[in-house]
């Protein structure tokens, strides 16, 4: 689980999604997190400025920090 005091690192999209949604499949967790991201115009704009594109399988540490700052710790 992500800890604020931990070093932010790169995560696979599905890996981070499963931290937010641990009780559903990786595929469903990824779909739900993608809905969260695409439904939030502020966060999608920030992520896109930093190279995020729909379908990315890897989230950089900067992407992860933006997501955690917006949605809270998983």
- What local confidence, expressed as pLDDT, does residue 7 receive? 64
What sections of the chain are H helices per DSSP?
A: 13-20, 26-38, 41-49, 61-71
- What local confidence, expressed as pLDDT, does residue 6 receive? 53
Please compute the mean of the pLDDT values over residues 59-70 and round it to a whole number: 94
Which residues on neighbouring strands pair with residue 59, listed in sequence order?
A: 11
- What local confidence, expressed as pLDDT, does residue 5 receive? 46
The parent domain of residue 40 ranges over 11-71
Is residue 6 a part of any domain in this protein?
no
Is residue 3 a part of any domain in this protein?
no
- What local confidence, expressed as pLDDT, does residue 16 receive? 96
How many residues belong to the chain? 74
Total structural domains in the chain?
Answer: 1
Is residue 2 a part of any domain in this protein?
no
**Which among 42, 44, 47, 43 is positioned nearest to 62, based on CA atoms?**
47
What would the pLDDT profile of 6-51 be if each residue is shown by its tens digit?
Answer: 567 999 999 999 999 999 999 999 999 999 999 999 999 999 999 9
Buried b (16+ CB within 10 A) or exposed e, 34-58: eeebeeeeebeebbeeeebeeeeee
pTM of the predicted structure, to 2 decimals: 0.85
């Amino acid at each position: 689980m992500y800890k604020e005091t931990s070093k932010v690192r790169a995560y696979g999209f599905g890996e981070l999604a499963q931290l937010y949604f641990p009780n559903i499949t990786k595929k469903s967790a990824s779909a739900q997190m993608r809905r969260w991201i695409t439904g939030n115009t502020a966060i999608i704009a920030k992520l896109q400025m930093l190279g995020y594109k729909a379908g990315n399988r890897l989230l950089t540490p900067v992407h992860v920090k933006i997501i955690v700052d917006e949605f809270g710790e998983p």
